[in-house]
Structure 1
């Protein structure tokens, strides 16, 4: 089993075209397209800080878990999903703060050194320590099988809960119901539109992606990380009076991507299986009469 997974990951690592598409779409096309979209939405009465929050969502890296879980549920290229989620998260530690400062405005007084040092201490260092410790307790972990899935879910719920508390306990928050409802619909619209866009591109004839690749591309390119996103926002915009409102769209986007992805799993799986069957039939040699 270990050898099989290792082989799959090695094969996925060589799929440079797929990785390039996912990372460019996630960290270049996504934020740029949202920026143009927000130029139109800025003419509406929607709360401007919620709109800025949408821009922060677009700058986030892919999540480590949800895209992989949904890809696996469909039966897609799980190894490619794992690689792109992990690689995108590492890339996001450097790229996301730069995108946030680029699209949301920055000045010469922005403490870049402080931002990256804090991100390094809160994200990179714990990850490195975890990998080192894991080497020494790997056998114990395999025997005991701690419920890491449940633990990570609890930690994620705590992050969401504390962020909601910070947001809605702020006495100066100016959040109207109209803007909040509209933002929820916009988030679902953005996800559906980008899922359709990545699907259409990855299934076009000249790309060379398999149906399993398409599944990984659709989920990895459109999902955004909350676990990395919230700490990044708190570090980059520390002390910012509108941080609470800016965080709201990301808090909505995360459960929305899981809900929408879960609903679409049966449909995507049905498409993938039928497409794989059709490709298999076309590749079978014809029997001479």
Structure 2
């Protein structure tokens, strides 16, 4: 079986390499206003997200409460609790940063597009996938900062809930509400050009990733991450994915969910959103010097989840 490499994953690799050779454009003293561009771009991402949300599908999905409880519980409880179990193993400041990066990954909401696409390929419950992936992003706006607030004040950044939620309201919640309000007028147009809007989303994400890694490269933050460390990080995200995928499957069977719902539970409950991760990292961590390192496990997980779930989805499609 041939495995297609996701173009967005390749784009991330290219932009990181670009940031390594040309970091000066992404630092604070640069004349290019990347922070302003990305802030405006973030607001548009969530405005389009509001435009594309389908209220009818969301209302219909409310009935399948066991499935929703499992998916959201896996996303916002199982993931963080597994990483919390590893906290006693921390023995240095560098390990603290890596652990925080994994905890940030664990606290994030599920991704929308790839969850729904993979559930569709595997012949799962598509309406339930749309509902859970969509509602996860909304829940994450509230839950992710609460989880991070437990530990983020131990880092080099100042954590202020008032400032955090003000930024969340202005950059995320208000655009989503505005998108929902204008959906009756622009909803069909947004869905028609959904692929082009997704391209815009990814462009903003790549810009944020460039900024994050450029600053880290410029400040030589990756000197503490060796090839062995990178390999261990990669093994770590695979182990995390496999554990959550297996536990979600076991719980789904205990809940007596049918085959389609089990697929949806495992596919949606094991995903983490790179879009929300990069956006939240800017709001939660600001210009923290180690931001590139904080995003590293998330990007490794993003590539891993797409690869593994693609293989599983293709197999289930043939069953």
Which secondary structure state, in structure 2, belongs to the residue aligned with residue 222 of structure 1?
Answer: coil
**CA offset at residue 153 of structure 1?**
4.0
Q: Is the 8 A contact 2:145 2:284 kept in 1?
A: yes
My pick for the range that moved more, 19-28 or 141-150, is 141-150
Over the aligned positions, Cα root-mean-square deviation in angstroms equals 2.8
Q: Match for 1:94 among 132, 142, 155?
A: 142
**CA offset at residue 155 of structure 1?**
4.0
Query: Are 1:224 and 2:284 counterparts?
Result: no
Indicate the residue corresponding to 1:50 in structure 2.
Answer: 98
Query: Are 1:37 and 2:97 counterparts?
Result: no
Structure 1 residue runs of 5 or longer lacking an equivalent are 274-289
Query: Are 1:125 and 2:171 counterparts?
Result: no
Q: Is the 8 A contact 1:47 1:175 kept in 2?
A: no
Query: Are 1:61 and 2:109 counterparts?
Result: yes
Q: Which has the larger radius of gyration?
A: 1
Indicate the residue corresponding to 2:236 in structure 1.
Answer: 186
Q: Summarize the alignment of residues 158-173 of structure 1 with structure 2, pairs less than 5 Å apart.
A: 158-173=207-222
Distance 1:253 1:163 in 2: 17
Query: Are 1:175 and 2:219 counterparts?
Result: no
Q: How many equivalent residue pairs?
A: 263
My pick for the range that moved more, 171-180 or 89-98, is 171-180
Query: Are 1:18 and 2:34 counterparts?
Result: no
Which secondary structure state, in structure 1, belongs to the residue aligned with residue 141 of structure 2?
Answer: helix
Which secondary structure state, in structure 2, belongs to the residue aligned with residue 147 of structure 1?
Answer: helix
Distance 1:142 1:209, change over 3 A: closer
Distance 2:288 2:93 in 1: 22
Indicate the residue corresponding to 1:112 in structure 2.
Answer: 161
Distance 1:202 1:132, change over 3 A: same
Query: Are 1:135 and 2:184 counterparts?
Result: yes
Which secondary structure state, in structure 2, belongs to the residue aligned with residue 61 of structure 1?
Answer: coil
**CA offset at residue 141 of structure 1?**
5.6
Distance 1:193 1:256 in 2: 14
Distance 2:167 2:56 in 1: 36
Distance 1:215 1:225, change over 3 A: same
**CA offset at residue 209 of structure 1?**
0.6
**CA offset at residue 31 of structure 1?**
0.1
Q: Is the 8 A contact 1:159 1:227 kept in 2?
A: no
My pick for the range that moved more, 235-244 or 256-265, is 235-244
Q: Summarize the alignment of residues 277-288 of structure 1 with structure 2, pairs less than 5 Å apart.
A: none
Indicate the residue corresponding to 2:12 in structure 1.
Answer: none
Query: Are 1:260 and 2:311 counterparts?
Result: no
Which secondary structure state, in structure 1, belongs to the residue aligned with residue 85 of structure 2?
Answer: helix
Distance 1:48 1:62, change over 3 A: same
Indicate the residue corresponding to 1:201 in structure 2.
Answer: 251
**TM-score, structure 2 length as denominator?**
0.73
Q: Is the 8 A contact 1:46 1:178 kept in 2?
A: no
Q: Summarize the alignment of residues 1-16 of structure 1 with structure 2, pairs less than 5 Å apart.
A: 10-16=59-65
Q: Is the 8 A contact 2:153 2:159 kept in 1?
A: no
Which secondary structure state, in structure 2, belongs to the residue aligned with residue 203 of structure 1?
Answer: helix
Q: Is the 8 A contact 1:53 1:249 kept in 2?
A: yes
Q: Is the 8 A contact 1:71 1:219 kept in 2?
A: yes
Indicate the residue corresponding to 1:28 in structure 2.
Answer: 77
